[in-house]
Chain A
């Protein structure tokens, strides 16, 4: 598989989840960096200027939601695609809670992708590729 030089930031406090996502993305040919929480994620994003960010929502220190707002308000990062990968869903993967979150923050544009844990790996990789095409 040809190596894509494009860089993806994975932000998740669960080490196993981060490792898994890294493997899948690396296997798809991307370079990866990781962060453990929202604060570190935003700092890494500013430092690394990734091409795409995979962001968990429920994390200690600073949540993915705060991080997402920061990203969208940052001049250099506001157009960087963000894919939320989260366990925060309703019963049976219902995206309702997420939609609620979006509707109460209408000044924030919706994220570019939304995946419920555990992810459908193929759909996930397809979406990443599409966003980075």
Chain B
């Protein structure tokens, strides 16, 4: 476009065709013509001075390019900023061209003005992005030399100074085998791959590297832009996460407790080895399906619906094969904030513990039987001795013709034979017992019943019999008749003790209360008390302090046997002259089950 004539620009049509703003101004810098494209940038400008239009100034600019062109006839291009018709800053490139008349005199100057505001902004944005993006951005030439690098790169690696990228990133002396830039140069594609490099300090550094081609107009790839993101921390965290997750998985899998986890739709998502074993389930067939009722029994489902964790310390579950297993069962909702993610069921197999408890109860029972047999032998020996004595007296009386002695011998024989039948009867009762009938009963009701039964007998001896019962004692699984027999026996003993005691004002009290998970029933009296020597023998069979004709000594033993059948124990405290307290303690978790075969 060298020296186009004024006339050549004169045609409106041509002027309007030019996709740039075009103005023509005279020596006074007054705009005599402009096209529509110009008006779009700066508004209607006809008759205005160029400085008013471009810069919104009142006077001519100091280094006015139009003036310069008027003076030297030179075409010049300049980049300037001004204000557009809306008063916004506008960046433009103006090409100032002298317009000459036929004599070669410059009559006008034309300025072809291109608005580069958007391009400028894009350029600036690109530059900012390139510089500030929080990863290493480099531009590589075909030799893999870094010709440009962003701020972060320079901060970490220093000025690239045309160094090879493999030297900078990896301290290598030759190109990497899997160079993504090489692939991009080869086919123009974008590639992403992971690389292990080395930091300036020599520490292994993990990068995710992406490459993209920088195209020239003719389609040749002369440069590649490469972005490398340092993921060392992420990689380390990922490794830790993988390890932690593996650890947790192993922990759950190898837990001795059975663990089943469900999602919010109650579908099984996890089932560990112990759970597979406990519920006799094949987890392959269970995972992904609705949780079976055996694993999430109704009692757990209902109570866990209120949220929180529910623990059933001593319950039973049914396996998928239909067997019953005693367990400690816990259920919980898994939440994140308010959202329920699912639930977990944790079960601890109590078969072994139950077995141990059963064995312990059996051992206690056998010990009681052993003591009973030993005690029985002791009692029988005295009876045998009495029979011996009777025979001796009878025979020697006969030999001597001593009728009185014969009679005495006969009496001794009769008495001891009577004693034998009493022993046998009571012993059989003790040994065989009655078949306990276990059901839910009110301990307080049994206590009140015994008070009613013995009240009259006690009153006959001037003894007060009463009950002091804690309110709201829960029902207990017991053999009502057995426990009643125990209380009857203890109350009967207590009445005897008061009768023998010298204090007068005899009082017998049945008390009930709960303590540390045990039901406690006490029978207290203010009678004679038991001294130290007898303390040790209270539970010995046929040991009786009541004299030969009162009691066989089986009462307390029978009581102890019944209490032991209930998993409980008998103890007592006694002070001579002040009275005794016999205490029956029944740990509730050892009470018999109605459906078990523990009764005998």
A pairs with B: yes
Residues of B within 8 A of A121 (CB): 388, 392
B548:A15 contact, CB within 8 angstroms? yes
1/0 per residue B366-387: CB within 8 Å of A? 0000000000011101101111
For the complex, is B482 an interface residue (Cβ under 8 Å from A)? no
Selected from B381, B412, B545, the residue in CB contact (under 8 A) with A118 is: B381
Selected from B381, B393, B537, the residue in CB contact (under 8 A) with A20 is: B393
Cα-based distance from A102 to B219 in the complex (angstroms): 117
| Nearest CB in chain B to that of A91: its residue | B377
Residues of B within 8 A of A91 (CB): 377
For the complex, is B416 an interface residue (Cβ under 8 Å from A)? yes
Quick one: given A27-B396, A91-B377, are A14 and B386 in contact (CB under 8 Å)?
Answer: yes
Give chain B nearest CB distance to A115 CB in angstroms.
Answer: 10
Cα-based distance from A88 to B537 in the complex (angstroms): 13
For the complex, is B543 an interface residue (Cβ under 8 Å from A)? yes
For the complex, is B408 an interface residue (Cβ under 8 Å from A)? yes
For the complex, is A113 an interface residue (Cβ under 8 Å from B)? no
Residues of B within 8 A of A63 (CB): 533
For the complex, is B531 an interface residue (Cβ under 8 Å from A)? yes
Which residues A55-69 have CB closer than 8 A to chain B? 58, 60-63, 66
For the complex, is A119 an interface residue (Cβ under 8 Å from B)? yes
Residues of B within 8 A of A61 (CB): 531, 533-534, 545
| Nearest CB in chain B to that of A65: its residue | B533
Cα-based distance from A24 to B388 in the complex (angstroms): 11
Selected from A23, A87, A116, the residue in CB contact (under 8 A) with B392 is: A23
For the complex, is B568 an interface residue (Cβ under 8 Å from A)? no
Cα-based distance from A117 to B385 in the complex (angstroms): 6
Selected from A16, A58, A116, the residue in CB contact (under 8 A) with B416 is: A16
**CB < 8 Å A-B pair total:** 74
Cα-based distance from A91 to B378 in the complex (angstroms): 10
Residues of B within 8 A of A77 (CB): none
Interface size class of B (residues with CB under 8 A): 20 to 34
Residues of A within 8 A of B378 (CB): 58, 87-88
A117:B384 contact, CB within 8 angstroms? yes
Cα-based distance from A52 to B534 in the complex (angstroms): 26
B396:A23 contact, CB within 8 angstroms? yes
For the complex, is B415 an interface residue (Cβ under 8 Å from A)? yes
For the complex, is B297 an interface residue (Cβ under 8 Å from A)? no
Which residues B385-412 have CB closer than 8 A to chain A? 385-390, 392-393, 396, 405, 408, 412
Residues of B within 8 A of A87 (CB): 377-379, 381-382, 385
Give chain A nearest CB distance to B534 CB in angstroms.
Answer: 7
Among B415, B534, B544: residue with most chain A CB under 10 A: B534
Residues of A within 8 A of B382 (CB): 14, 16-17, 87, 117
Give chain B nearest CB distance to A21 CB in angstroms.
Answer: 8
Residues of A within 8 A of B537 (CB): 58
Residues of B within 8 A of A13 (CB): 548
Selected from A19, A27, A58, the residue in CB contact (under 8 A) with B408 is: A19
Cα-based distance from A19 to B531 in the complex (angstroms): 27
Quick one: given A24-B392, A62-B533, A88-B378, are A14 and B412 in contact (CB under 8 Å)?
Answer: no
Cα-based distance from A30 to B379 in the complex (angstroms): 28
Q: Which residues of B contact A (CB under 8 A)?
A: 377-379, 381-382, 384-390, 392-393, 396, 405, 408, 412, 415-416, 531, 533-534, 537, 543-545, 548
**Given A14-B548, A20-B385, A23-B392, 4 other A-B contacts at CB below 8 A?**
A20-B388, A21-B389, A60-B544, A61-B531
